[in-house]
Structure 1
Amino acid sequence: MDTASNGGGGDRARWLSDEEQRVWRAYLHATTLLEDHLDRQLQRDAGMPHIYYGLLVQLSQAPCRRKRMTELAKDAKITRSRLSHAVARLEKYGWVRREDCPSDKRGQNAHLTDEGYEVLKRTAPGHVAAVRQAIFDRLSPEQVEELGEIMRVMAEGLQPSGPDADLPWLR
């Protein structure tokens, strides 16, 4: 690849150093393996993908186990269309129920049902064990602290803001 050009206009690309490239590839490899590991555990133990588990967790932590669909999409960092599809599946399982929002007739709330809450309670210990085995049992306390700080800095830098932000939950 020609490192003097980025394929666009006349700007020069700021290419990754060999060390940055090594770290980037290790990050991609680890996060892909982690997501696959957690997804397989949840499919095996509860018959659901990781994204559905995350939605159930968010609803379980919301007041009265209810959250506006737009807020749920925002917190999950997914499009409204993807959320709608996921909630439809969760409704089919009887784990979530959509309700009209009493304060806004155009809005809807997602409500975690008692059955969904019980599924979450049964699934959580195995999921926590999978997370612990995949991450925390492999790191020293210092590494855990460093990883937390790195993730916080990355998230702060990537959090979309402003009127022109391309926010998935608005699509």
Structure 2
Amino acid sequence: MITSEEDKTVLSEIFKLGRSLEKRTYVCLSHIQKIIDDNKGIQTSEYIMRSFISRNKCLMRNRKSRRNCKVCHMSKDLSELYHIYSKNVRIVLMVGCILSGTHSVKQAMDYTTNINAATCYSHRKESIDIIFEQLKIENKQEIFQCPVPVMGSLMDIAKNFDPNFTVDQFILAFNKLSMKRPNV
């Protein structure tokens, strides 16, 4: 929100409004960034413009990149999200979400078709834990010893997304999901 009369004057001139701005003025941060970028190299003698740029430059520097988690749709800092680029890994994550009851097959279908699926670390962990629980295993190495019939219920869910999805693909994708690396 812009409250300073000096800032309102600067915005009126930049955006050529010709009228004074109302009492409660809201300006998008990207517009403030554009004003700062456009006037960065210009030597201006106007104190008001310099004041506006210096006050808002600090605001722009401290702004963190945010994205929405594609599972819970909450806005999070980029550092709090796990980026999943592999469709198979997204399928495994959604199998966990379906097992935990947070998603239906239709909701999960939308997620698996999303190219860049940023997901909270907590959803990743929940999916891994629920799959461990379903398979009655305690660590990811034990998944290699799981008999195919035990994996049957998980594969039934996974085949909703890709009818050609195999147990080997599931195991590989599960291992990628459970790695410490943030981007898969």
Which TM-score applies when normalising by structure 1?
Answer: 0.31
Q: Which one has a larger percent helix, Structure 1 or Structure 2?
A: 1
Which protein is bigger by CA-based radius of gyration?
A: 2
